[in-house]
Structure 1
């Protein structure tokens, strides 16, 4: 084997570690034990985060951090909840947990063993804090999801209650009144034809009102245009309403979508276009419906004034998010690439048939 001058030969499959790093590694093991090794700690954190539910994972992460620092106690605060390992007592370090620029919680560390060096503890905290922030963010997401599902269940129950009330108080009473009018018309038919004719005319008007009420109830449950025109056609019908120029783009096979995903996509597009027409001051908008193997993506973008610097989600935006969350999907509202506002909902779908079978 030939070794060129000026080049060190490294054994195959092994990395070169300078003497200074080897010495630091040996000292870390001597003073802090194997629990203080960053490689071992980060490996354990990755395992805990990937193998447990968010709350359990965060509790395990807090335990790993306490062991890695040999601290009396470690506490993580997330949305008013404290996850504790050991007895923190006096807090000697307070570290904000930052996830993609957003503070998601705080890491509080109690006293550490006297033999430990502050420099090493600082290295451990710097290396482990991002993992703690990831776990804290996952806990916040899980809590948000639970709250969204609770709101969805509450809204669904309220909708059922409203439907029962409308059927009972509206249609039920109307049908009772119509039955009484029919009986009175039958009685008056021979003795007072004019009165019978008036009753029958009122009955016809009542039937028209009942028919309209039934159509409104049906539309609230599932828009008839979805059955008549399919999702793409129904959204194109939405697009031509009002004075806004709206382009509808489609990609993939949209004719055999699951019913729940189809209704959610239509309602999200409907609410987004309503918001554009009312608030955006836009000249045009685009609705994109894209189907993949397991997801339907609905995107609505406009060229209006965009979102204000500070804004609170109204009922419409919350409704769009909750429709997506109910199906296990997501709905994000933010700035559009070319200016204006963009809404993007990603809805999971589970049924896909070969389009060739439909020809």
Structure 2
């Protein structure tokens, strides 16, 4: 016979022994009292006494049973009842931190202890504490699928200690608590990922709005005004009209390249985004701008998947600045791998700028953010002779090209 069955049998025997003893003592006391204060005969006194004792036992039986359970099973009471009470409430708890706190509160109430602590091992996750923890709590590991994810700390009430029965109950319940903790951690990670996705979408929308408002929109408006001027010049000066139309055609080709660049910059990661190919297409997009774009990007260069898109965005921003703002005549884009490191550089021969004077500008801030996202080091040198931007990805972050491609298509 198991210990639990022995404990259950002892509990029932004690309960019935106490009930019988209480019934006999109460019957004798009530009968004696009725004999003194009333003129009933013995039969009536016996019936009335039995009825009163029965009513009394109905009221006190639950309290006596609870006391016997605590005496036999410890502060938590009957393990079957404990599991039943928690099982009834598990469906009420959500999968987040609040649900975990509710489970800890229910466990504390069921076991009758001073405090319950659920402490995750995951960095950055807060512990759940219900009650006032003691100095020497009982600690049990929380594991799921054979992997430790935290621990359960149980502090008994002052002057008490956890019985062997209570410890067995806890050992039976750690699986439930571990599962709840795993769900709470997963829920927190899901919330963080959702917040990150929302932030990324907002950032891309701001980028698109800036590109459309500050670049493509005004340029297209200028083309529209130019076409109106061509229409006016056709009758009075056909040669000037033809020259203006040619310039407008070049502007339209340039803006088409801008549209392609913006569309490429918001392409979803994992859709065949290969940096050497994208850099060549970036140079082609600006072919009609009158600036010579030279691209040296061998296809065998290896890069981690997460770094490809940020590096492209930085290169695109650098080329855009050189063509639109620096009055550059030529831009050189170079992607090389040396001693395990990958270096992307964009150099132009424009008039340059003072990096310190525009340190807080949106363009430079965005480039730095992309560099951090790529795990790269960003260096910028600019002056009257031109601007050179260099991004270096350390070799420790680089994976073989075949691995990079397979990851990119499976993410």
Q: CA deviation at 1:167?
A: 1.1
Structure 1 residue 177 and structure 2 residue 252: aligned?
A: no
Larger radius of gyration: 2
Q: 2:177 aligns with which of 127, 132, 135?
A: 132
C-alpha separation between the residues in 2 aligned to 1:126 and 1:105? Answer: 14
Deviation larger for 81-90 or 111-120: 111-120
Report the aligned-residue RMSD: 4.1
Q: 2:78 aligns with which of 26, 37, 44?
A: 37
Secondary structure of the corresponding residue to residue 177 of structure 1: helix
C-alpha separation between the residues in 1 aligned to 2:92 and 2:409? Answer: 30
C-alpha separation between the residues in 2 aligned to 1:157 and 1:279? Answer: 25
C-alpha separation between the residues in 1 aligned to 2:139 and 2:202? Answer: 44
Q: CA deviation at 1:116?
A: 5.9
Change (3 A) 1:151 1:279: closer
Q: CA deviation at 1:204?
A: 0.9
State whether residues 117 and 154 of structure 2, in contact with CA within 8 Å, keep that contact through their aligned partners in structure 1.
Answer: yes
Q: Deviations over 1:333-356 (max 9, x none)?
A: xxxxxx99778989xxxxxxxxxx
Structure 1 residue 51 and structure 2 residue 96: aligned?
A: no
Structure 1: give runs of 5+ residues left out of the alignment.
Answer: 1-17, 224-234, 244-273, 281-313, 317-338, 347-359
State whether residues 31 and 116 of structure 1, in contact with CA within 8 Å, keep that contact through their aligned partners in structure 2.
Answer: no
Q: CA deviation at 1:173?
A: 1.7
Secondary structure of the corresponding residue to residue 89 of structure 1: coil
Give the number of equivalent residue pairs: 231
Q: CA deviation at 1:211?
A: 3.1
Q: So what's the TM-score if we normalise by structure 2?
A: 0.46
Q: So what's the TM-score if we normalise by structure 1?
A: 0.52
C-alpha separation between the residues in 1 aligned to 2:101 and 2:266? Answer: 43
Change (3 A) 1:20 1:32: closer
Q: CA deviation at 1:62?
A: 1.1
C-alpha separation between the residues in 1 aligned to 2:134 and 2:182? Answer: 25
C-alpha separation between the residues in 2 aligned to 1:52 and 1:23? Answer: 34
Structure 2: give runs of 5+ residues left out of the alignment.
Answer: 12-68, 278-298, 306-371, 375-402
Which residue matches 2:155? 110
Secondary structure of the corresponding residue to residue 94 of structure 1: strand
State whether residues 74 and 107 of structure 1, in contact with CA within 8 Å, keep that contact through their aligned partners in structure 2.
Answer: yes
Structure 1 residue 168 and structure 2 residue 213: aligned?
A: yes
Change (3 A) 1:130 1:113: farther
